[in-house]
A and B are shown apart, each in its own frame.
Chain A
Amino acid sequence: MKERLIGFLLFMSALVSIASLAVITFFIFEAGLPLIFRVGIGNFLQNSIWQPSGKTPQFGIAAMILGSVWVTLGAIMIGVPLGLAVAIFSAELAPPWLAAVIRPVLQLLAGIPSVIYGFIGLTILAPVVRAAFGGPGLSVVTAALILGIMILPSIVSISEDALRAVPRAYRDGALAVGATQWQTIWRVLVPAARSGIVASIILGMGRALGETMAVIMMLGNALQVPRSPLDSATTLTSNIGLELAYASGQHREALFATGVVLFVLIMILNLLANVFTGRLVLWRSRAPSLSTMRTLWRNRVPASDRRSS
């Protein structure tokens, strides 16, 4: 009896995450969807005028969507090359003592609060950008540079896992046919770890797209469509973060509607990442999977035995 009760309680706690995901989805959509339907999806997404409290209020989030896209792509341009390089370095090149330094460094980078990153962007990087390239300093470039560093830990950890999961035989085989270590890495290991690396990029995009406080501090929060990387802008997240505290009525609904758009984008990215890591199987192919074939190959009868039998 006690055993069964405990089993049931454990089962219930395992259900909590999927249940809370459902509840979160429900409440965000319930609070945001009515406004989207009233304004019209097309108008909501394509109108770049956001005047939530005017006499004829306008709710268009096009400027914020573009701001989010610019900043996210910028962050990817910084974070992916750097992250992939660090992942390759830790998986293949780093002497053990250095790998033992890099791991906690990345862990700490992941642990530093986003407000600290935003503050660094605001006080150190923005003046540098202003002095070097002109413009307001609080700009897409500034935000992208800092966000690129913020997403580094997730990109490195997933890519590194993928690189380490490449079977030894691939590496040995490439080296045995005379490839240099770098050719082995670039032509064999990286392509073999491709799906994990793609997943890490997608998750990095999700991180950058979802970041709020740091972006508020670095992007200048100008309600405009950015024309150049040196312009100030605003994003889906930063607009919610700035206005939720005082918004009411339709205005608050519009912020939840913005949240709906953000949530949908993030869930699409999550799904894609899950497909790429193979954690979520959408369809099962009839052909034996690569891992099955690998197992078959590994358990094959050695040639010497075959001849004798």
Chain B
Amino acid sequence: MNRQLSQRFAFGLLWSAASATIIILAIIVMFIMVQGLPYVNLAFLTGGPIAQGREGGILPAILGTFALGALSLIIAVPLGVGAAVFLTEYTRPSPLTTIMRFGTDSLAGVPSIIFGLFGFIFFVTRLNLGWSLLAGGLTIALMVLPTLIRTAEEAIRAVPVAYREVSYGLGASRWQMVRTVVLPNALPGIVTGIILSFGRAVGETAAVIFTAGTALNIPTSVLSPTRTMAVHFYILAVEGISLPKAYATGAVLIATILVINVVANLLITRGVARAVRR
């Protein structure tokens, strides 16, 4: 085959692969939205479920989702940002940091069902937390830790060295420099990581179902069991409780993920714009 011709052919394949990816995403989102949105109304969003979710709304699942996401972030954000600050500002590359990075990378690759098994045997059973927001939050916190560490590290590394030198030059201690110069400037990147981690908590099922449980009540304390939207969607769809309600829950779930991604992207572009202005 002529090499110009083979280039045309190959580029055609590349273009179709890229278009296929966009079309697949569009199909997934449109399908759930078209089927689900007609059933979404105020009563659905603010009402409690009736008969295991066959009727009524999903308020407890919405609240459970946000409570679980918030709790896991409260636990994970200080640890993740702390780890990132330590790795970037407080140490040089050494065997110890290699081990720390290896831990983070490996943790990122651990599948959610393993987190589910671990959370179940450790937080739920051994620490006797039962199926609860706290057990679920701790489990999800470990799951999102690698994302938080990586995004925070990247954001911190992007802060110009000159800023640090000026701060030291004015007589700041290391922590004063980190607190007043590095962290404020890295904030957009760190917040992006936090938002993406929240998305992970919203979408997670396998780890949540065995640690936070499936109870359809509005959680009243960190020790109450809960059911997130993803878990509710799974149960409605797999146990065949109600297909319309499953679609509706799926639509709310996708809408939440869409909002999270749009906000994260806005922050990323803002951060880039700021970096360019410098």
A contact residues vs B (CB 8 Å cutoff)? 2-3, 6-7, 9-21, 23-24, 27-28, 31, 81-82, 85-86, 88-90, 93-94, 98, 101-102, 104-109, 111-120, 122, 124, 149, 152, 180-183, 185-186, 203, 206-207, 209-213, 216-217, 237, 240-241, 244-245, 255-256, 259, 262-263, 266-267, 269-270, 273-274, 279-281
Q: Nearest-CB distance from A117 to chain B (Å)?
A: 8
CB <8 Å contact, A27 and B25: no
Bound complex: CA of A44 vs CA of B192, how far in Å? 44
CB <8 Å contact, A82 and B21: yes
CB <8 Å contact, A20 and B107: yes
CB <8 Å contact, B234 and A213: yes
Q: Which of A9, A180, A211 contacts B3 (CB 8 A)?
A: A180
Q: Which 5 A-B pairs have the closest CB atoms?
A: A210-B111, A18-B103, A13-B82, A113-B203, A85-B17
Bound complex: CA of A117 vs CA of B205, how far in Å? 12
Is B31 part of the contact surface with A, judged by Cβ < 8 Å?
yes
CB <8 Å contact, B250 and A102: no
Q: For window 84-126 of chain B, which residues contact chain A by CB distance below 8 Å?
A: 85-87, 90, 98-107, 109-118, 120-122, 126
Residues of A near B113 (CB, < 8 A) are 210, 212, 237, 240-241, 259, 262
CB <8 Å contact, B110 and A24: yes
Closest residue of A by beta carbon distance from B28: A120
Is B166 part of the contact surface with A, judged by Cβ < 8 Å?
no
Residues of B near A256 (CB, < 8 A) are 117, 121
CB <8 Å contact, B114 and A24: yes
Is B238 part of the contact surface with A, judged by Cβ < 8 Å?
yes
Is B4 part of the contact surface with A, judged by Cβ < 8 Å?
yes
Closest residue of B by beta carbon distance from A239: B113
Residues of B near A203 (CB, < 8 A) are 109
CB <8 Å contact, A18 and B100: yes
Bound complex: CA of A14 vs CA of B98, how far in Å? 11
B interface residues, tally (CB under 8 Å):
86
CB <8 Å contact, B145 and A17: yes
CB <8 Å contact, B254 and A112: yes
Bound complex: CA of A213 vs CA of B200, how far in Å? 14
Known: A16-B79, A116-B32. A211 touches B111 (CB 8 A): yes
Is B174 part of the contact surface with A, judged by Cβ < 8 Å?
yes
CB <8 Å contact, B20 and A82: yes
Q: Nearest-CB distance from B9 to chain A (Å)?
A: 9
Main secondary structure of the interface of A (DSSP, over half): helix
CB <8 Å contact, A21 and B175: no
Known: A119-B237, A217-B237. A113 touches B204 (CB 8 A): yes
Q: Identify the stretch in B49-57, B157-165, B255-263 within 8 Å (CB) of chain A at 4 or more residues.
A: B255-263
Please give 19 more A-B residue pairs, beta carbons under 8 A apart, in addition to A82-B17, A114-B203.
Answer: A9-B82, A10-B90, A14-B82, A17-B100, A17-B146, A20-B103, A27-B118, A98-B18, A108-B25, A111-B200, A112-B29, A113-B202, A115-B230, A182-B10, A186-B10, A241-B116, A256-B117, A274-B102, A279-B102
B23-56 interface mask toward A, CB cutoff 8 Å, 1 = contact, 0 = none?
0110111011000000000000000000000000
Residues of B near A10 (CB, < 8 A) are 82-83, 85-86, 90
Q: For window 178-227 of chain B, which residues contact chain A by CB distance below 8 Å?
A: 196, 199-200, 202-206, 209-210
Q: For window 223-246 of chain B, which residues contact chain A by CB distance below 8 Å?
A: 230, 233-234, 237-238, 246
Residues of B near A183 (CB, < 8 A) are 3, 7
Known: A3-B175, A13-B82, A85-B17. A112 touches B112 (CB 8 A): no
CB <8 Å contact, B210 and A245: yes
Q: Which of A101, A114, A119, A274 contacts B250 (CB 8 A)?
A: A119
Residues of A near B122 (CB, < 8 A) are 23, 27
Residues of B near A111 (CB, < 8 A) are 196, 199-200, 203, 257, 260-261
CB <8 Å contact, A182 and B6: yes
Is B128 part of the contact surface with A, judged by Cβ < 8 Å?
no
Bound complex: CA of A89 vs CA of B142, how far in Å? 35
CB <8 Å contact, A244 and B117: yes
A-B residue pairs in contact (CB < 8 Å), sample of 15: A15-B100, A18-B104, A86-B18, A88-B14, A106-B21, A113-B204, A113-B257, A115-B203, A115-B234, A119-B32, A149-B24, A182-B7, A241-B113, A269-B109, A279-B101
CB <8 Å contact, A240 and B90: no
Closest residue of B by beta carbon distance from A216: B238
CB <8 Å contact, A105 and B111: no
CB <8 Å contact, A14 and B87: yes
Q: Nearest-CB distance from A155 to chain B (Å)?
A: 11
Known: A3-B174, A88-B14, A244-B210. A152 touches B21 (CB 8 A): yes
Known: A3-B174, A113-B203, A114-B205. A16 touches B114 (CB 8 A): no
Q: Which of B18, B202, B264 contacts A85 (CB 8 A)?
A: B18
Name the residue among A20, A203, A255, A262 with the largest chain B CB count within 10 angstroms: A20
CB <8 Å contact, B142 and A20: yes
Name the residue among A24, A27, A88, A245 with the largest chain B CB count within 10 angstroms: A24
Residues of B near A14 (CB, < 8 A) are 82-83, 86-87, 100
Residues of A near B4 (CB, < 8 A) are 180
Residues of A near B170 (CB, < 8 A) are none
Q: Nearest-CB distance from B34 to chain A (Å)?
A: 12
Bound complex: CA of A18 vs CA of B257, how far in Å? 29
Bound complex: CA of A228 vs CA of B233, how far in Å? 31
